[in-house]
Structure 1
Amino acid sequence: MKLMVYLAGEIHSDWREEIKNQAKELELPLLFKGPMENHERSDHIGEEILGSQPNAIFKDEAASSINNLRTQIWLNKADVVIALFGEQYKQWNTAMDASAAISLGKPLILIRPESLHHALKELSNKAQIVVETPKQALQALSYVFEEN
């Protein structure tokens, strides 16, 4: 059995590569999907498909509609969602994706530092598990595959 894992979170650091590499080392049967990690492409996809927009707000709206399409498709297909909240970046998209996963009944693994406990307490309470590192998230998934 192979699980599809949606990796929700900021696209500015290499945390996804860390998870993918660790999963490969652990020989976990996981397929990873997530948001568009190329920030330029994500910001400009609306104009690429719909044409030039009259201002920055319309440009953002066009891009977000297409990015939301991508996210909805992959979240619906995901078997589990891992959402990373870090300290460096604002995490609005991560919160939106984690909330959508909860609404869809998708198992949610929340990665967040202890310093964000209070800010994320309600979301943490809805997750199946809250961990502090990507390694711990993969250890939890590894347990799913253990035989008796």
Structure 2
Amino acid sequence: MQINVYLAGQIHDDWRDTFRAHAVEIGLAVNFLAPMEVHERSDNVGEDILGVQPNPVMKDEVASMMNNLRTRVLVEKADVVIAYFDTSQYRQWNTAMDAGIAIGMGKPLILVRDATKHHALKEISNRAQVTVETPEQALQALQYIFE
């Protein structure tokens, strides 16, 4: 059996690469899906497809349309969604949005957040199937599916 796992979270560092590498190390039969991980491409995709926009707001709007399409299609294909709220300085609105999409679609959700984010994420945590504090624990939860 192989499952599809969507990795929701910020795109400012290589956490997904580390997560994928650990999954390979422990032999998980997992196909990973993710948002666009090249920040510049994510920001510019709307103009790349629809042409130059008249102002920054419209540039953001058309990029959002394309990124939301991608997210919707890939979350739909996912068997499990992992929403990782790391401890970086970045606001993680996209992670919350992706978690909400997964919940709305009835997709199983593993929420990864440390104790400092408990209060801010309590509603998402309440709707997740599993809440863990580290990516390693999320991998162990995935591994349990295969036992």
The TM-score normalised by the length of structure 2 is 0.98
Tell me what 1:108 maps to. 109
1:2–1:29 Cα contact (<8 Å) kept: yes
Q: List per-residue Cα deviations over 1:37-90 (Å, max 9, x = no partner).
A: 100011111111000100000000011100110000000010000000122210
User: C-alpha root-mean-square deviation of aligned residues, in Å?
Assistant: 0.6
1:83–1:110 Cα contact (<8 Å) kept: yes
CA distance in 1, matches of 2:144, 2:122: 25
* Structure 1 residue 9, shift from structure 2 partner: 0.4
Report the secondary structure of 2:4's partner residue: strand
Tell me what 1:3 maps to. 3
Report the secondary structure of 1:109's partner residue: strand
1:18–1:134 Cα contact (<8 Å) kept: no
CA distance in 2, matches of 1:90, 1:65: 20
The TM-score normalised by the length of structure 1 is 0.97
The percentage of aligned residue pairs carrying the same residue is 62
* Structure 1 residue 15, shift from structure 2 partner: 1.1
Whether 2:20 is the aligned partner of 1:20: answer yes
Unaligned runs of 5+ in 2: none
* Structure 1 residue 130, shift from structure 2 partner: 0.6
Whether 2:64 is the aligned partner of 1:64: answer yes
Report the secondary structure of 1:125's partner residue: helix
* Structure 1 residue 26, shift from structure 2 partner: 0.8
Q: List per-residue Cα deviations over 1:72-129 (Å, max 9, x = no partner).
A: 0000010000000122210111001001101101000000010000111111010011
Amino acid in structure 1 at the alignment position of 2:41: R
CA distance in 1, matches of 2:49, 2:101: 25
Q: List per-residue Cα deviations over 1:6-52 (Å, max 9, x = no partner).
A: 00000012111111001000110000011101000111111110001
CA distance in 2, matches of 1:82, 1:13: 16
1:83–1:109 Cα contact (<8 Å) kept: yes
- Note the 1:29-68 alignment, pairs <5 A: 29-68=29-68
Report the secondary structure of 2:42's partner residue: helix
Tell me what 2:73 maps to. 73
**Number of residue-to-residue matches in the alignment:** 146
Runs of 4+ displaced beyond 3 Å: none
